[in-house]
Chain A
Amino acid sequence: MAQSAAGARGGSGIGAGIGSGAGMGAGAPRRFFGALWKYKFLYALAVPSLAFTLLFAYLPLSGLVVAFKDYDIWKGLLGSPWAARFGFEHFFEIFRLKPVIGSVGNTLLLSSLNLLIGFPMPIIFALLLNELRRPAFKKAVQTISYMPNFLSWISVIGLAIVFFGDYGPLNDLLGFFDPDRQRVLYLSRNELFLPFLLFLNLWKNTGFQSIIFLAAITGVDVQLFEAADIDGANRFRQAWHITLPSIAPTVSVMFILSIGGILSSNFELVFGLQNAFIDFETIDTVVYKYGLLQRGYSLATAVGLARGLIALLLTVAANGVAKRMGSTAMF
């Protein structure tokens, strides 16, 4: 038994050697298998995580080849013929089909507005929360505002359908001020669909997303505020000159994370809120409708692949810009 303790200590030497790539001489294979045997228990524990990842995250990547083929379920991945134009036909198709290219525009519009409105709101909310002076009140506001995050999107849509319905509270409230008013089916108005998407997103996420910023604010050194107090800075100036610069790294990382999602939309929200009167598709609803419902597998995969590649590029680019500007980067 004492041997195993000694082995663990000796093992860290071997591990460091292999990890850094040093000492890969003639004895490397033997050392590799030696390490494998020595740490068999730990490797065995890592197997489930790796196996699930390979099976459900890497293996589906092989299906991306569908984007370059005219996929036929009966012929399978390998048997299906390659698409025209050296396999890129379905990528050209994206630009030819009005609903598809239109959905790209809609997605960009929705994401940009979400970023413009939805990104700063949790920061503002966290700043305001931080200014609340009564702990019990602050706690109550936190508990209530975090709550919608735990409801499913379909429940949020249910609440919206009831609240904005023709006999819902909003119509009643407005009818109270103007008895002659016609009842409005708000959720069937095409021009109101985008504002609804933005509003419901704010309603569900603002509170919970403020947690990270609130934590960053709480982490600011108290001495900075005390010094500012002595120098005569009021609370607005303190928020502007101390709190905001202090949470800038957190804001920067969160912003980079959001940039990668600019071509993504929340399928649950957009699809769930759609009805017969709404003509607003995003990339995600188009992929579902053209891909799964109408079995246009190749086109939908091409849309998804193009989107994924652009998102990856955007994330890397945003990260690079953040680095150059001296803010905290993600990697």
Chain B
Amino acid sequence: MRKKSIGFGIFNCFNMAFMVLACAIILYPYLHVLVVALNDNANTAYTGMMLFPQKPTLMNFRALLSDGAIWHSAGVTLTRLLVGVPLTIFVNFTGSYALSKSYLPGRRAMVLILMIPSYISAGLIPTYILYARLHLLNSFWVYVLPVGFWFFGFILLRTYMYTIPESLEESAKLDGANDFLILLRIYLPLSLPIIATLVLFSAVTHWNDWTTTLYFVTNYRGLSTLAFELERVLREQDRVAKLIQEAIVHGTIPPSASSGTSEGLRNAQIIITTLPIIAVYPFLQKYFIQGIMVGSVKE
């Protein structure tokens, strides 16, 4: 047993105090944004530090949701998830299954081909030129196709498949199963935990990405995502002005409240963009950590 001494008692106190402070620094900015978003805009600008809304109202959320752009961008984001995540899983699952077979001739060469791009990449402009030639600019497919293969996900899956005993495959073959059945009935069900991890990582990456839109979607009206809408609200003054104008026309925000309105709307947009992740993350935490752990195993 470890000895307890006064020195470590003091250290433990400081350590715990430091951790509490760190957690407060992480949580408070988010809490503040949430409180301001839920507070009456006429009351927002000068209230400062609050732990709960002084005049609770949903007017900012109502104003944002009455604007067509946010629904449209939510639709684009969801479509992107529904198309992009299954595609990434399919490509990486099939690839990692084939290349986890030690008896497959040429396996090393193929893995090398897949690995080299993690060290050498063409960069933004050559990528842009290629996408232009492939007609991917201003196309929905620019969101999902380039991330179809994902080396990190591939390594994660393959490392996991190595842990599945080969004897399972051998006995299934003796029982007359072909390669396809073995993949579908043995490897797929056994890989489900790591596939869940991959689905989460891939979904979060799609959800959070806004630079693809910035780089490759120049007439962004139709293909804007939620993350990109947030960028616009934060960085384009016109966008906020237009939102306020619309909200007043729709009657979702009283004209008198407009002093703090831009701040209220901005905060509501931050909440709408982040809430799904914040809400889901604590329950799925173990899958994310598992992913990091498996991924850090040396190749």
Contact = CB atoms under 8 A, between A and B. Distances in A.
Interface of A: 1-2, 4-5, 8, 11-12, 14-16, 18-19, 32, 35, 39, 41-43, 45-46, 48-50, 52-54, 56-64, 66, 71, 73, 77, 125, 128-129, 131-133, 137, 140-141, 143-148, 150-155, 157-163, 165, 167-169, 171-173, 175-176, 203, 207-208, 211-212, 215, 229, 234-235, 250, 253, 260, 267-268, 272, 275, 287-288, 291-292, 297, 300-301, 304-305, 307-308, 312, 315
Interface residues on B, range: 35 or more
A162 B32 contact: yes
Contact of B22 (A56, A57, A141): A141
Contacts of B282: 143, 147
B230 A155 contact: yes
Contact of A150 (B127, B204, B231): B204
B124 A292 contact: yes
A45 B124 contact: no
Contacts of B185: none
A199 B141 CA distance: 35
Nearest to A304: B123
B126 A62 contact: yes
Contacts, number: 288
A167 B46 contact: yes
Given A53-B113, A155-B230, A39 B120 contact: no
Contacts of B231: 154, 272
A147 B128 contact: no
A63 B210 CA distance: 24
A61 B120 contact: yes
Nearest to A206: B22
A56 B147 CA distance: 8
Contact of B114 (A49, A148, A159): A49
A63 B124 contact: no
A42 B101 contact: yes
A300 B124 contact: yes
A158 B296 contact: no
A57 B132 CA distance: 15
A45 B207 contact: no
A48 B91 contact: yes
